[in-house]
């Protein structure tokens, strides 16, 4: 054929070229480059000695105790956060799906946590959790739940849950909005049919609402899991992985290895492992979204 | 001046769907050509290929004698009216109509003159400042026509432009479109699945099915002389009736259609074409309107059976008629005095019988 | 010029004087001491414009090895100051035989107590041993004088190694032997005993807050200054601030005692110094290097004929100077006497030892070591096991360099 | 009586029941709304309240929920920090930051860092539109070979965690000498945000009828003109949604900025802010004021465009 690619292909190529260039340059290339450097022992404190070490960075990683600790911490954080997000977001979306005066105002209020930067969020919670002057102690003390100020973030048994709480607070709005969207897409005749069939409020929720929300729910869960696994900002500002290793999550581990120990090679290896894990997780996510567009 | 020629044109989609197969067609200048067929038959794809909205996979598409396979739509001198009208929601009626001219950089005064001309002809002058969302379906239809008209294109394409209108409006618009064609003196290609529209409007009709052209001809041709059972069935309301049977050539060179006790004699002209078909199993096609009540036709031209149903449609009457276990429908005068269960005789117009090979469905006489 | 955010105004004023004198404009940036090292590392690695910066003795080998800072001993007008400087300081700025800067300040870890609280508890002398610290603290706890009488700041930050070193030294231990091999895991002459004391203080006696693992030096200092504690281990120069009524609620009551000693130890403590160093990128450009050297002199040496900056620092925040002639300065002597006991200071200073973990791999090791200590304090691992882990890493790093 | 109970079908008073049910529903909604409002706003309110307190008041135990002597001094400190007065030996404060209540010298970087954030976010938004809109149009309306592969490709890049990109990014950007420049941030943020932008836009474009696209092209538009003259004016809600999402993402981003910026030339607001939080010398009330400052612009943006967020997503992400 004379024209292998016609006008359509050519214009599509032209339209997609910028995006593809950007993504190739700033996402695909780095990820492969990262694979490459993960085979070297690159320490920026020793700029001139960067031997090829093959898979050593990976084997070191899996024998590193702290790495496994960080995996456990990450899993704990993600499970706790995502469960909480799912439950709270579900309740909120059900509430916002009702018709009542002030619904718009309420959904606007809901956007506040979503809009504020994570750093400001972290700063805010750090101040709330402050063991000396924080609001949490203040409230609990004034309500007589505690008789003296407590240590919060410094308590290794509480810290990961407190960080999760800050994370949940910020993530819930988006999750709720996404769920609300999927609630709104349930055709109302489905409810009417269920009513005619004699289903009560609870039964309608179980048999109509929940099944119809399932895809949206899945999406929210996967998305939030991805966000939780990779989360960094709160750990950086609230605890720096501490106390001890109580909040030493994977992303913090990578940060320390890379930017404190300056071991770029093993840092890259860890990043790669993290990328593969999230990638496997998000397979479903991509498939669902990809089919939709 | 626009002649459009398809030479061995193929259209295959990326998903493997073969939409148009080996299309050979010449559309004459100033002709009103209708592409007719059920949905998925490739008629819209064909139209889109003319517009340049779909690329030709193989073969050649020529405008006059220029190969336009790879020419994008905006380089072709075509205008198009869509089923959904596809008016630009963010533009006023005026701007909708003027847009095509503006895109082709027509002078401002010229654009204005043409838009107002078209609006006057279509009686939508008072709507020029409105937005499409403020218009009724019929008004939108007119705006869509106006948008195509002002362009004075070499080819005027219409993709089921009337199917979103209600029945009454549809009939009157048909007339207007026909008028428009005469006035504009340009090539029209019109896609529809509505046989009545096709028969009313077309100079020539192309009947398509599964991407293959079934028959090309004038409306009369297509209706009177369908090339196969598909074409025969697709046109006619109620649809053509089929009776399966054998061809029998007698010693005295008479040719008959035989099915059990029923025997119909073909007139000489038809008989000549069937002379070699002795013993062949065929489908005999009788159009609903090609019968008359009564047995005045005499032996060899009369069907006798039981009335199953009587369906008045106003101007006349559809008669459900049982014959050898088949239900046949005929259109008869509304004065017929029969009720369900009555036995009636109908005389067949033997000159208008259709005979198709049972296996291939191809007509044996046309 | 980049520094940590200490004595910011003092630095700025001295810097303005520099610009006014030489006509060389200087960009002054600072970041918190707690994150200073990583911040600087990113700057070095990223090639951010730097000429002169403050350096802690602990980082010298790492930074010098990585080629981020360059020696300044080619500038005779800088090395000339060595004759008047404390040998400890010059020593601490020297790596592989090259000198990397001039002193910014030098100090040691001191043990402070709130005299009024001790009296209230019924003691007339400060504790001399770590066991006495426990003993006195328990009394104070009982009498409700303080919930956590002893203030220790064990958060992961740049100060941590100095706190740990002081604890270890005063218990008679070391992290490494003279050859640099780890002995921290040893029961007696290692770090285990010191850590065990901290663990007991937190878990068994409850005299140190379990929150010490998230308490940085500054918040600990503030808490001490607001009267929450009776004993504190902080840098000696903090004495000035602690006895300044404008900044401290217990001003006037804060006294320095000799670092308590452990069963096998003496009153040893850790000493350190920080210096003005020159960035390699600056050293590579002759003109820039020249200017940087002049800036180093302006701060670390004499400005307009006197050790202006070190003197200002001492007067403003009490930071110890590293040049002997300043001891003779009348203003300085007067200042010292207003808030401190010069004899104790001198006695303690004589027992200050250099950190023994100053190596190119210090930064990397400190991270893990800090976590190990914290884990032990939190009761997650036995002190011996924690230190063993830390020692293993030390040996591993040592062999890889 | 017996007559009545018959009409009420077996003694159940449905009207009353319905009334009770409706009342109950109102109650639940009211309660839910109240709880939600408190949940979402209380922490922020506390932060704002703290920012108007003096350093002395802020350390009271238990806290003062409403400032007793509200002060603007923290905000004044931020806004006046840029007007530098030359400090001489005589005017120096002589205090060490350690005594607390200290306004860091980096306070003067706050306002410039807001500018940096604004510049970066705006550039990222503009580039997102420039790059994302044509791509989304192509994916939604052009049937071309490789379309599905392109969709998956773009989605996959969204899944890569930022922290996995940091190491290679850092090395590459360093090699290009782009560290500590706004350009490096713009470029990386673009890569992080553009997949989602494309996703929102593709969904929206697909919702617009194909025939509109065809009409435009038959009317004489090239692909590009069809996009520009017909699709863009029609996709305002999704464009606003894209602007919003990318603006907020860029404004709020922390990790990459932490790695790539070093001086006030390129530090964005979150970085300057984060540096405060780790510095215990700094006045609590001042940090809180800085936090409030960081919250205000994105919250205003989000609140103003609230309806577009929902409609932009309704057309998009979760159709169910």
- Closest chain B C-alpha to A216 CA, distance in angstroms: 29
Q: Is the pLDDT of residue A3 over 60?
A: no
3-state secondary structure of B257: strand
In a 10 Å sphere around its CB, with 0-12 CB exposed, 13-18 middle and 19+ buried, how is residue C242 labelled? buried
Q: Which residues contact C118 (CB under 8 A, 6 or more apart)?
A: C124, C125, C126, C136, C230
Which of D154, D160, D317 comes nearest A19 by C-beta? D154
Domain housing C150: 108-270+354-400
Which candidate, A247, A260, A251, A242, places its Cα nearest to that of A45?
Answer: A260
Looking at the structure, tell me whether residues C26 and C164 fall in a common domain: no
pLDDT of D316 reads: 43
Burial label, B337 (beta-carbon count in 10 A; 0-12, 13-18, 19+): exposed
Rounded to an integer, the average pLDDT of C388-393 is: 91
Using CA coordinates, name the residue in chain A closest to C389: A65
Write the pLDDT tens digit of every residue in B214-259: 999 999 999 999 999 999 999 988 889 999 888 988 877 788 888 8
Q: At what angle do helices D14-51 and A159-184 cross, to 10 degrees?
A: 130
- Residue B100, chain D, CB below 8 Å: the answer is yes
Residues of C in contact with D94 (CB under 8 A): 9-10, 315-316
Choose among A109, A100, A110: nearest CA to A176. Answer: A110
pLDDT band at D308 (very low <50, low <70, confident <90, very high): confident
Q: Which chains touch B (3 or more CB pairs under 8 A)?
A: A, D
- Secondary structure (3-state) at C72: coil
DSSP state of D146: T
The 10s digit of each residue's pLDDT in C207-216 is 998 888 878 8
Nearest to C152 by CA among C74, C88, C213: C213
Reply yes or no on whether the pLDDT at C129 is more than 70.
yes
Q: Which chains touch A (3 or more CB pairs under 8 A)?
A: B, C, D
Q: What percent of chain B has pLDDT over 70?
A: 100
Q: D28-68: per-residue pLDDT in tens?
A: 888 989 999 999 899 999 888 888 887 777 777 777 888 88
Tell me, what's the pLDDT at B108? 92
User: How many domains are there within chain C?
Assistant: 2
Between the CA of residue B364 and those of B239, B275, B289, C133, C144, what are the distances in Å? 19, 10, 21, 119, 117
Question: Does residue C380 have a pLDDT over 90?
Answer: no
- Rounded Cα distance between D196 and D188, Å, is 14
- Mean pLDDT (whole number) for B3-7: 92
pLDDT of C33 > 80? The answer is: no
Return the higher-pLDDT residue of A145 and A125: A125
The CATH code for residues A50-292 is 1.10.3720.10
Instruction: Please choose, from the candidates D137, D131, D155, the residue with its C-alpha nearest in 3D space to the C-alpha of residue D202.
Output: D137
Residues of chain C whose C-beta is under 8 A from some C-beta in A?
A: 38, 41-42, 45, 62, 65-67, 155-156, 209-211, 213-215, 219, 223, 360, 363-364, 367-368, 371, 374-375, 377-378, 380
Cα–Cα dist B248/B254, whole Å: 8
Is B72 in Cβ contact with A3 (below 8 Å)? no
Task: State the DSSP string of A213-224.
Answer: HHHHHHHHHHHH
Check residue A14 and report its DSSP letter. H
On the CB side of B229, how many CA atoms lie within 13 Å of its CA?
Answer: 16
Decide if D160 and A275 are in contact by the 8 Å CB cutoff: yes
Question: What would the two tokens of residue D299 be?
Answer: 């919250």
Can you tell me the mean pLDDT for A170-187? 86
Tell me which residue of A223, A220, A231, A269 sits closest to A76, measured CA to CA.
A231
**pLDDT value for A4:** 47
Query: Phi and psi at residue B331, in whole multiples of 5°?
Result: -105, 120
**How would residue B15 be classed by pLDDT, with cut points 50, 70 and 90?**
confident
In whole angstroms, what is the distance from residue C13 CA to residue B249 CA?
125
Query: Is the CB of residue C268 less than 8 Å from the CB of residue C169?
Result: yes
Residue D92: pLDDT band with limits 50, 70, 90: low
The domain segmentation of chain B, as residue ranges, is 4-234, 241-357
Of D140, D250, D141, nearest to D192 (Cα)? D250
For residue D250, what pLDDT is reported?
92
Average pLDDT score, chain A: 84
What is the predicted pLDDT for the residue at C208? 92
Which DSSP letter does residue C212 get? Answer: G
pLDDT at B332: 82
> Computed over its alpha carbons, how large is the radius of gyration of chain A?
24
Q: Does B241 touch chain D (CB under 8 A)?
A: no
Task: Count CA within 13 A, CB hemisphere, residue A131.
Answer: 20
Task: Assess: ipTM above 0.85.
Answer: no
Between D14-51 and A103-115, two packed helices, what is the crossing angle to 10 degrees?
40
Q: How far apart are CA C132 and CA C126, in angstroms?
A: 8
DSSP state string for D283-317: -HHHHHHHHHHHHHHHHHHHHHTHHHHHHHHHSSS
Give A198-229 pLDDT, tens digit per residue: 777 788 888 888 888 887 888 888 889 888 99
Residue range C366-379: mean pLDDT, rounded: 88
Residues C173 and C183 in one domain: yes
What is the distance of C-alpha D187 from the center of its chain? 18
Q: Which of D170, D164, D257, D187 is nearest to A23 (CA)?
A: D187
Measured between its terminal Cα atoms, the distance across chain D in Å is 52
pLDDT score of A2 more than 60: no
Q: Which two tokens stand for residue B327?
A: 């239900």
Tell whether A130 lies on the interface with C, counting CB pairs under 8 A.
Answer: no
The minimum CA-CA distance between B300 and chain A, rounded to whole Å, is 59
Q: What is the pLDDT of residue D2?
A: 46
**A10 in reach of chain B (CB within 8 A):** no
Which pLDDT band, with edges at 50, 70 and 90, does D3 fall under? very low
Query: Is the confidence at residue C297, as pLDDT, over 70?
Result: yes
What is the DSSP track for C126-166? --SBHHHHHHHHHHHHHHTS-SS-EE---SSSTTHHHHHHH
Q: What is the DSSP-derived secondary structure letter of residue B239?
A: P
Q: What is the DSSP string of C242-298?
A: HT-TTT-TTTTTEEEEPPPB-TT--S-EEEEEEEEEEEHHHHTSHHHHHHHHHHHHH
H-helix or E-strand spanning residue D281? none
- Kindly state the DSSP code that residue C7 receives in the 8-state scheme: S
Pairs of residues, one from chain B and one from chain D, whose beta carbons lie less than 8 Å apart: 67
Q: Kindly calculate the radius of gyration of chain B based on its CA atoms and give it in whole angstroms.
A: 25
- Compute the nearest-CA separation of D234 from chain B (Å): 7
Residue C349 sits in the same domain as residue C360: no
Question: Where along chain A do its domains lie?
Answer: 50-292
Which range, A103-112, B328-337, D277-286, is most confident?
A: A103-112
- Asked whether the beta carbons of residue A45 and residue C62 sit closer than 8 angstroms, the reply is yes
Q: For residue range A66-87, list pLDDT tens digits in order.
A: 889 899 999 999 999 999 999 9
Sorting pLDDT into bands at 50, 70 and 90, what band is D105?
low
- The answer to whether C247 touches C86, Cβ cutoff 8 Å, is no
* pLDDT at res. D94: 58
Check whether D8 has a pLDDT greater than 70: no
| Cα gap A118→B263, rounded to integer Å | 91
Per-residue confidence band for D81, with pLDDT thresholds at 50, 70 and 90? low
Per the CB < 8 A criterion, the answer to whether C27 and C53 are in contact is no
Residues B91-150: pLDDT tens digits? 999 999 999 999 888 899 999 999 999 999 888 999 999 999 999 988 999 999 999 989
**CATH superfamily placement of domain B4-234:** P-loop containing nucleotide triphosphate hydrolases (3.40.50.300)
Per-residue pLDDT tens digits for A245-284: 888 999 999 888 888 778 888 888 888 888 888 888 777 7
What φ, ψ does residue B31 adopt, rounded to 5°? -85, 150
pLDDT average, residue stretch C356-380: 87
Whether C206 shows a pLDDT value over 80: the answer reads yes
Q: What are phi and psi of D182, to 5 degrees?
A: -65, -30
Give me C281's structure tokens.
């990128």
Q: What is the DSSP letter of C318?
A: -
Record the pTM.
Answer: 0.81
CA distance A208 to B215: 52
Q: Where are the alpha helices (DSSP H) in chain B?
A: 43-51, 93-103, 108-122, 137-149, 167-184, 195-201, 219-224, 229-234, 268-273
Which residue(s) pair with B212 in the sheet? B209
Residue-wise pLDDT for B330-345, tens only, equals 888 777 777 788 888 8
Give the integer Cα–Cα distance in Å for B89 and B85. 11
Q: Do C155 and A242 touch (CB under 8 A)?
A: yes
What would the mean pLDDT of D169-195 be, rounded to a whole number?
Answer: 85
Tell me the helices (H) and strands (E) count for chain B, helix number first: 9, 20
SS3 of residue D69 by DSSP: coil
Of A56, A281, A270, A78, nearest to D166 (Cα)? A270
Question: Count of alpha carbons within 13 Å of B257, Cβ hemisphere only?
Answer: 27
Element (H, E) at D70: none
| Contacts of the segment A135-142: beta carbons below 8 A, 24+ positions apart | A135/D43, A135/D46, A135/D63, A137/D62, A138/D61, A138/D62, A138/D63, A138/D65, A141/D62, A142/D62
Q: Reply yes or no on domain B241-357 having CATH 2.40.50.140.
A: yes
User: Which structure tokens are listed for C288?
Assistant: 């820039």
Flag whether pLDDT at A291 surpasses 70.
no
Residue D82: predicted pLDDT: 57
Average pLDDT, chain D: 81
What tokens were used for B196? Answer: 């009545």
| pLDDT, averaged across chain B | 89
Q: Decide: helix, strand or coil at residue B237.
A: coil
pLDDT grade, residue B1 (50/70/90)? low
Q: H-type helices in C284-382, by residue range?
A: 286-300, 308-317, 330-339, 342-350, 362-377
Q: Is the peptide bond before B103 cis (omega within 30 degrees of 0)?
A: no
- CA separation for the pair B244, B20 (Å, rounded): 32
Q: Are residues C186 and C113 in the same domain?
A: yes
Provide the pLDDT for residue B112: 93
Position D131 scores a pLDDT of 93
Is A31's pLDDT higher than 80? yes
D240 burial type by CB count under 10 A (0-12 exposed, 13-18 middle, 19+ buried): middle
* Whether pLDDT at B318 is above 90: no
């Amino acid at each position: 054929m004379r024209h292998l690619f016609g006008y359509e292909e050519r214009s599509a190529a032209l339209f997609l070229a910028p995006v593809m260039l950007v993504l190739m340059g700033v996402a695909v290339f780095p990820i492969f480059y990262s694979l490459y450097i993960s085979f070297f022992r690159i320490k920026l404190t020793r700029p001139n000695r960067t031997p090829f070490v093959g898979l050593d960075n990976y084997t070191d990683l899996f024998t590193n105790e702290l790495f496994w600790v960080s995996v456990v911490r990450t899993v704990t954080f993600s499970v706790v956060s995502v469960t909480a997000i799912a439950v709270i977001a579900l309740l909120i979306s059900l509430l916002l799906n009702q018709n009542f005066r002030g619904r718009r105002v309420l959904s606007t209020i809901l956007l506040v946590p979503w809009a504020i930067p994570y750093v400001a969020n972290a700063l805010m919670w750090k101040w709330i959790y402050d063991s000396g002057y924080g609001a949490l102690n203040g409230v609990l003390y004034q309500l007589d739940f505690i008789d003296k100020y407590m240590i919060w973030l410094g308590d290794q048994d509480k810290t990961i849950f407190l960080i999760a709480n800050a994370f949940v607070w910020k993530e819930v709005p988006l999750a709720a909005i996404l769920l609300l969207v999927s609630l709104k897409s349930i055709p109302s005749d489905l409810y009417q049919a269920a009513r005619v069939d004699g289903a009560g409020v609870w039964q309608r929720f179980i048999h109509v609402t929940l099944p119809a929300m399932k895809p949206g729910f899945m999406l929210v869960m996967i998305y939030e899991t991805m966000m939780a696994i990779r989360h960094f900002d709160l750990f950086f500002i609230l605890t720096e992985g501490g106390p001890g290793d109580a909040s030493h999550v994977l992303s913090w581990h990578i940060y320390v290895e890379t930017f404190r120990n300056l071991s770029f090679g093993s840092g890259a290896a860890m990043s790669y492992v993290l990328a593969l894990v999230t990638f496997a997780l998000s397979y479903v996510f991509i498939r669902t979204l990809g089919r939709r567009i | 001046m626009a002649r459009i020629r398809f030479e061995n044109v193929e259209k295959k989609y990326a998903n493997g769907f073969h939409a148009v197969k080996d299309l050979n067609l010449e559309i004459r200048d100033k002709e009103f050509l209708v592409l007719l067929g059920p949905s998925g038959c490739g008629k819209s794809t064909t139209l889109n290929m003319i517009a340049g909205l779909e690329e030709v996979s193989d073969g050649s598409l020529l405008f006059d004698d220029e190969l336009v396979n790879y020419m994008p739509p905006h380089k072709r001198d075509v205008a198009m009216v869509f089923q959904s009208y596809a008016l630009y929601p963010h533009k006023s009626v005026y701007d909708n109509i003027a847009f095509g001219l503006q895109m082709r950089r027509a002078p401002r005064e010229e654009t204005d003159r043409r838009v107002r001309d078209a609006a006057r002809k279509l009686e939508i002058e008072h709507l020029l400042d409105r937005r499409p969302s403020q218009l009724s379906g019929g008004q939108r239809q007119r705006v869509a026509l106006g948008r195509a008209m002002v362009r004075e294109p070499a080819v005027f394409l219409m993709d089921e432009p009337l199917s979103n209108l209600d029945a009454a409006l549809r009939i009157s618009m048909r007339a207007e479109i026909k008028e428009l064609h005469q006035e504009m003196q340009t090539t029209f290609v019109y896609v529809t699945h509505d046989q009545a529209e096709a028969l009313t409007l077309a100079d020539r009709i192309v009947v398509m099915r599964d991407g293959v052209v079934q028959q090309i001809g004038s409306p009369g041709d297509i209706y009177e002389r369908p090339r196969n059972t598909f074409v025969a069935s697709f046109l006619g309301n109620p649809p053509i009736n089929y009776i399966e049977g054998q061809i029998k050539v007698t010693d005295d060179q008479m040719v008959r259609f035989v099915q059990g006790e029923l025997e119909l004699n073909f007139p000489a002209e038809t008989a000549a074409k069937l002379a070699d078909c002795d013993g062949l199993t065929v489908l005999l096609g009788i159009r609903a309107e090609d019968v008359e009540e009564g047995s005045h036709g005499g032996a060899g031209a009369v069907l006798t059976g039981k009335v199953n149903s009587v369906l008045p449609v106003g101007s006349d009457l559809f008669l459900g008629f049982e014959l050898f276990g088949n239900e046949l429908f005929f259109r008869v005068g509304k004065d017929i005095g029969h009720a369900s269960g009555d036995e009636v005789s109908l005389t067949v117009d033997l000159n208008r019988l259709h005979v198709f090979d049972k296996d291939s469905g191809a007509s044996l006489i046309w | 010029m980049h520094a940590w955010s200490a004595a910011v105004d003092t630095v700025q004023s001295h810097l303005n004087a520099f610009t006014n004198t030489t006509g060389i404009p200087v960009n002054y940036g600072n970041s918190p001491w707690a994150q200073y090292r990583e911040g600087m590392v990113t700057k070095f690695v990223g090639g951010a414009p730097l000429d002169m910066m403050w350096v802690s003795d602990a980082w010298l080998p790492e930074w010098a090895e990585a080629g981020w800072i360059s020696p300044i001993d080619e500038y005779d007008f800088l090395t000339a100051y060595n004759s008047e400087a404390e040998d400890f300081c010059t020593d601490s700025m020297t790596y592989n035989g090259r000198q990397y800067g001039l002193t910014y300040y030098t100090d040691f870890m001191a043990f402070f107590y709130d005299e009024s609280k001790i009296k209230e508890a019924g003691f007339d002398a400060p504790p001399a041993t770590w066991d006495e610290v426990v003993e006195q603290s328990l009394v104070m706890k009982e009498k409700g004088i303080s919930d956590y009488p002893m203030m220790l700041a064990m958060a992961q930050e740049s100060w941590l190694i100095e706190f740990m070193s002081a604890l270890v030294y005063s218990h008679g231990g070391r992290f490494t032997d003279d050859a640099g091999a780890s002995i921290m895991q040893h029961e007696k002459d290692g770090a285990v005993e010191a850590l065990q004391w901290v663990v007991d203080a937190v878990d068994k006696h409850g005299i140190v807050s379990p929150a010490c693992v998230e308490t940085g030096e500054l918040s600990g200092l503030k808490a001490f200054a607001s009267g929450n504690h009776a004993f504190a281990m902080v840098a000696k120069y903090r004495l000035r601030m602690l006895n300044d009524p404008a900044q401290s609620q217990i001003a006037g009551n804060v006294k320095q005692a000799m670092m308590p000693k452990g069963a096998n130890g003496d009153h040893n403590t850790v000493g350190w110094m920080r210096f003005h160093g020159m960035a390699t990128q600056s050293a590579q450009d002759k003109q820039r290097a020249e200017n940087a050297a002049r800036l180093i002199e302006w701060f670390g040496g004499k400005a307009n004929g006197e050790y202006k900056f070190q003197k200002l620092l001492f007067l403003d925040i009490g930071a110890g100077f590293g040049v002997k002639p300043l001891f003779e300065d009348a203003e300085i002597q007067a200042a010292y006497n207003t808030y401190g006991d010069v004899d104790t200071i001198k006695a303690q200073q004589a027992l200050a030892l250099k950190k023994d973990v100053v190596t190119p791999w210090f930064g990397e090791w400190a991270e893990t070591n800090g976590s190990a200590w914290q884990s032990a304090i939190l009761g997650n691992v036995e002190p011996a096991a924690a230190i063993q882990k830390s020692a293993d890493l030390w040996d591993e790093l040592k062999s890889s360099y | 009586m017996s007559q009545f109970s018959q009409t009420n079908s077996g003694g159940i008073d449905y009207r009353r029941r319905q009334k009770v049910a409706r009342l109950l529903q109102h109650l639940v909604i009211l309660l839910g709304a109240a709880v939600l409002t408190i949940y979402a706003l209380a922490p922020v309110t506390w932060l704002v309240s703290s920012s108007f307190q003096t350093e002395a008041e802020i350390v009271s135990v238990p806290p003062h929920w409403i400032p007793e002597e509200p002060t603007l001094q923290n905000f004044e400190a931020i806004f006046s920090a840029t007007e530098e007065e030359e400090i001489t030996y005589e005017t120096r404060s002589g205090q060490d930051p350690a005594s607390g209540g200290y306004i860091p010298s980096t306070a003067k970087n706050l306002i410039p860092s807001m500018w940096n954030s604004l510049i970066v976010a705006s550039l990222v938004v503009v580039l997102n539109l420039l790059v994302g809109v044509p791509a989304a149009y192509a994916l939604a309306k052009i049937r071309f070979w490789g379309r599905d592969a392109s969709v998956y490709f773009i989605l996959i890049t969204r899944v890569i965690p930022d922290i996995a990109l940091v190491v290679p990014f850092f090395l590459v950007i360093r090699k290009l000498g782009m560290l500590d420049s706004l350009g490096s941030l713009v470029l990386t943020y673009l890569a992080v945000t553009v997949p989602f932008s494309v996703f929102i836009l593709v969904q929206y474009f697909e919702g617009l009828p194909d025939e509109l696209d065809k009409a435009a092209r038959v009317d004489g538009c090239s692909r590009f003109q069809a996009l520009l003259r017909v699709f863009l004016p029609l996709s305002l809600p999704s464009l606003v949604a894209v602007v919003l999402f990318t603006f907020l993402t860029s404004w709020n981003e922390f990790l990459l900025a932490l790695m790539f910026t070093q001086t006030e030339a390129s530090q964005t607001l979150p970085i300057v802010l984060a540096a405060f939080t780790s510095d215990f010398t700094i006045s609590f009330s001042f940090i809180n004021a800085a936090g409030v400052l960081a919250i205000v612009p994105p919250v205003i943006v989000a609140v103003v465009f609230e309806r577009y967020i929902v409609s932009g997503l309704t057309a998009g992400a979760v159709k169910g």
